[in-house]
Amino acid sequence: MVSKLIKSAGNFFISAMLFMTFLGVLSFPIVAKAADEPDTTTRSATNVTDESAVLNGRVDGNGAYTYAWFEWGRDRDLDDSTFDVVIGSGTKNFDIRITGLRENTTYYFRAIAENDEGIDRGSILSFRTDRYSNFYYDEDDYYYSNNDGRITSDDLTAITDGATEVGNTSAQLNSLIISSVDSPTNAWFEWGTTPSLGNRTAEMSVGSLPAVRHAHTLLGLTPGRIYYFRAVAENSYWRNYGSVLSFVTNEGTVEQNVNTIIIREPVIVEIPAPATAVEENEKKDNSVEDQPETTRTSPIGANVYGAGFLPGSLLGWLLLLILVLMAVMLFKYIWDHSSKSQK
Domains of the chain and any CATH numbers = 39-128 (2.60.40.10), 153-248 (2.60.40.10)
Whether 269 shows a pLDDT value over 60: the answer reads: no
Q: Please tell me the predicted confidence (pLDDT) of residue 78.
A: 93
Is 149 exposed, middle or buried (CB count within 10 Å of its CB: 0-12, 13-18, 19+)?
exposed
Helix or strand holding residue 159 (H, E) = strand 156-164
Quick one: pLDDT at residue 12?
54
Q: Which of 156, 155, 170, 153 is nearest to 215 (CA)?
A: 170
200 vs 77: CA distance, rounded Å: 10
| Cα(67)–Cα(65) distance, integer angstroms | 7
Among 50-64, 71-85, 145-159, 309-323, the least confident range: 145-159
Span 288-300, average pLDDT: 51
Mean pLDDT of 49-53: 89
Band of residue 300 on the pLDDT scale cut at 50, 70, 90? very low
**13 pLDDT more than 60:** no
Q: Which helix (H) or strand (E) holds 80?
A: strand 80-81
Task: Tell me the pLDDT band of 168, cut-offs 50, 70 and 90.
Answer: very high
Residue 8 has pLDDT above 70, yes or no: no
Quote the pLDDT of residue 292: 53
Alpha carbon of 212 to those of 85, 105, 149, 160, 275: distances in Å? 42, 23, 24, 12, 100
For the segment 303-332, the average pLDDT, to the nearest whole number, is 75
Q: Residue 19: pLDDT above 80?
A: no
Question: Which three-class secondary structure state does DSSP give residue 187?
Answer: strand
Angle, CA of 238, 244 and 246, to the nearest 5°: 150
Residue 268: beta bridge partners? none
- Exposure of 124 in the CB half-sphere (CA atoms within 13 A): 11
| Region class of 318: left (phi > 0), else alpha (psi between -120 and 50), else beta | alpha
Distance in angstroms (rounded) separating the CA atoms of residues 292 and 117: 111
Rounded Cα gap, residues 55 and 45, in angstroms = 5
Q: Which residues pair with 68 in a beta bridge?
A: 85, 113
Residue 71 CA neighbour count, 13 Å, CB half = 14
Range with lowest mean pLDDT among 73-82, 122-131, 136-145, 166-175: 136-145
Question: What's the confidence (pLDDT) of residue 267?
Answer: 47
25-39, 69-83, 285-299: range with lowest mean pLDDT: 285-299
Position 30 pLDDT exceeds 50: no
Please give the Cα distance from 40 to 92 (Å, whole number): 10
pLDDT at 148 over 50: no
Mean pLDDT check: name the lowest of 47-56, 186-195, 211-220, 236-245.
236-245
Distance CA 183, CA 167 (A): 36
**Average pLDDT in the 206-233 region?**
92
261: number of Cβ within 10 Å? 5
Handedness of CA 312, 313, 316, 322 (dihedral sign): positive
